[in-house]
Amino acid sequence: MYFFVFISLLLFTGAQRLKSGQFLTVTIDGVTWTAEDVHVPIPGSKCLDSTCQQVLYSWKEAKQLDEQLTGWRLPTWKDWRKVERHCGAGLMEEYTSVSVGKEVKAALNIASFPGVTNSEGQRYKVGEENVYWVKPATEVVEADGTVQILLKNFYGPKSEKKDQIWPFITDAESDLKCSVRLIKEE
């Protein structure tokens, strides 16, 4: 009984937060970002702790957040690159250096590395990576019809890639669950 009440309260609180769009924020070069990973439980998302302070989302669920949160949207590749350039990345730099990676993580308050979950629901790279969905300007459709989605992969200090930021591509229909950051619409 108590568990049911707790889960109901958690979903209600998440729904209220989803409707209100209240998040900790940071403004960088005139763009307001969430200064925390979005942790609004929605059907299908994966809570990583009992209070849902860390939640991972599939691409489908990330798009739901993008559509349902009035005044907020998923960041594009251009948005992520703007923050990286603000923190010292070169214009043509595809994979950011350790120093820039540390600056971006500090600017956006990226402090936890929950990893990702795969199609079997298993978590991996816990403590090493935090991967974010990127809203495509246009969807990339392969010859076989699969849609490819770009992600931004932040490596933590425990990772072999220590504090770097790399792009990552996956199939939009995969069950991969990752973190979400949002940008306030102007």
Tokens of 179: 């973190």
- Rounded CA-CA distance 156/15 in Å is 30
Parallel, antiparallel, or unpaired for β 55-56 and 46-47?
A: antiparallel
pLDDT at 30: 93
pLDDT of residue 98: 59
| Tokens, residue 11 | 């979903």
Q: What is the pLDDT along the chain (186 residues), one digit of tens a residue?
A: 433 333 333 333 444 444 445 789 999 999 999 999 999 999 999 999 888 989 999 999 999 999 998 899 999 988 988 888 888 877 655 555 656 778 888 888 888 888 888 877 888 888 888 888 998 876 777 878 788 888 888 887 778 777 778 787 888 888 889 999 999 997
pTM, two decimals, is: 0.81
At 52, list the tokens: 């849902």
